[in-house]
Structure 1
Amino acid sequence: MSVQKPPLLQIQLDDYGEVPTIFYKGEEITNKVQIEFKWRTADDKDQSKTSILIKHYEDNDGAIVLNTIKQNISK
């Protein structure tokens, strides 16, 4: 039996103006502040590009910390 790897990023938006549900590497991101996702297809001049930015607050031993996940990938 093989273990299925979770998707890298899942974004669910039920309606405009609502807070999206975000899963990154299989874990739900809570206390979201900013979410950005960009993707561009490759062409004869550039490689395909994916950009992810997730900013959210976390509790770190009683201190509230702004955590940033940022990935810029070209293939």
Structure 2
Amino acid sequence: IHRLDNNITLSTNPDNYSYSLTTPEIHSTAALKHTPHLFVRRATQRVHFNGCCFLVRYDGNSAGLDDNNFLRVY
């Protein structure tokens, strides 16, 4: 789906069980097969989850949960 008037693009891939959503403010992708992940970005704010690690980035600072569910600040 692509709407020029709203600048919204949504695409899906049934083979990879994935989607991609792009708007003027947000970019988001997710997949369940080959490289399982969830990613959302808005300006300098990002959230990423790859099935075992959760990471949040904000203005160059990063923090997240590692494989052992310990909070890590990068």
Q: Which has the higher contact order (CA 8 A, sep 6+)?
A: 1
Same fold? TM cut 0.5: no
User: What TM-score do the two structures reach when normalised by structure 1?
Assistant: 0.32
